[in-house]
Chain A
Amino acid sequence: MEPDESLAERAGGGDVAAFAALVARHEARVRRFVRRAAGHAADDIAQETFLKAWRRRGEWRGHGSYIGWLLRIAWTTFLDHQRASRRRAAREAIEPDARHDAPDPELALAVGQALAALPAGERAAAELCFAQGFSHSEAAAVLGLPLGTLKSTVARARAKLVVILEVSDDR
């Protein structure tokens, strides 16, 4: 399988097929991240993310992973959408779509509700660090935060999720 770096280099030269291969490889993780972070209009944001990545294809210099670069674009795209719909509360932007992701509907619903209770930044940090296995420094780069801020954001998210999910388990 051709590595991301090689495909990204070809895409940077305008190779549409190479970029399509990158889309096929990473779309599930990008959609998942956007769905967890944004909920509402997740596929639209994911689609816009890839179009922006195509337009900025010459900007990727191989520092960090390609998926990290994509998720960084996804996060800024989500923030743009959030600013555009500022009148709606961030919590309203979450759909309980997460329940469709797991075989146990009750557990998935509890996880979805727990995530929906978090601010968007904590939700995204939790998704990157707990679900997608990013290191703190990688997640900080994706979210555009200083490492210390990211760590405290993750700690807050962890504390809230543990409390909420334990309460859900008691029911």
Chain B
Amino acid sequence: MTDDDLALAALLGAPPLEPDPAFAARVAALVEAEAAWHAARRAAWRRFAGEAIGALAVTAGAIVIARVSPVDGAAATGPGLAAALALLSWLITRPEPRAAA
């Protein structure tokens, strides 16, 4: 280091900026809020994906059952009715989505 460097270091370097706990607390609060928001978003996507897969499975099952060739009158309505009941029971008994954090 030259003398100029030392002189500039003395002029520019001192005194160090004081720590600002309020600034650090503000940043920490923002980071915590962002982390909570991301966690809630991940949970919502997981819930949506689970319910979408369940609904698709029930609907696909209902379609397959409804397309089975009817043998007689009772057999024609029976599978469709069973599928509708299965769909209805799933809609009634599915877990309630939790409130977003």
The answer to whether A and B come from one shared complex is: yes
Q: Which residues does A use to contact B, with CB under 8 Å?
A: 14, 16, 19-20, 23-24, 27-29, 31-32, 35-36, 43, 46-47, 50-51, 54-55, 101-103, 107, 111, 115, 126-127, 130-133, 158, 161-162, 165
Option from A16, A23, A31 in Cβ contact (under 8 Å) with B17: A31
Contact yes or no, A24 B15, CB < 8 A: no
Query: B interface, how many residues as a size bin?
Result: 20 to 34
Majority-rule SS of A interface residues: helix
Option from A16, A55, A165 in Cβ contact (under 8 Å) with B11: A165
Given the complex, which residues of A lie within 8 Å of B24, measured CB to CB?
20, 23-24, 27
Query: Does B73 reach chain A (CB closer than 8 Å)?
Result: no
Given the complex, which residues of B lie within 8 Å of A28, measured CB to CB?
16-20
Given the complex, which residues of A lie within 8 Å of B13, measured CB to CB?
130-133
Known contacts being A131-B9, A158-B5, is A23 close to B15, with CB within 8 Å? no
Taking the closest CB of chain B, its distance from the CB of A95, in whole angstroms, is: 15
Taking the closest CB of chain A, its distance from the CB of B7, in whole angstroms, is: 8
Q: Which residues does B use to contact A, with CB under 8 Å?
A: 4-5, 7-9, 11-21, 23-24, 26-28, 30-32, 34-35
Q: List 29 A-B residue pairs with CB atoms under 8 Å apart, sorted by A's residue number.
A: A14-B35, A16-B31, A16-B32, A19-B28, A19-B31, A20-B28, A20-B31, A23-B27, A23-B28, A24-B28, A27-B23, A31-B17, A31-B23, A32-B16, A32-B17, A35-B17, A47-B27, A51-B27, A51-B30, A101-B15, A127-B12, A130-B9, A130-B11, A130-B13, A131-B9, A132-B13, A158-B5, A162-B4, A162-B8
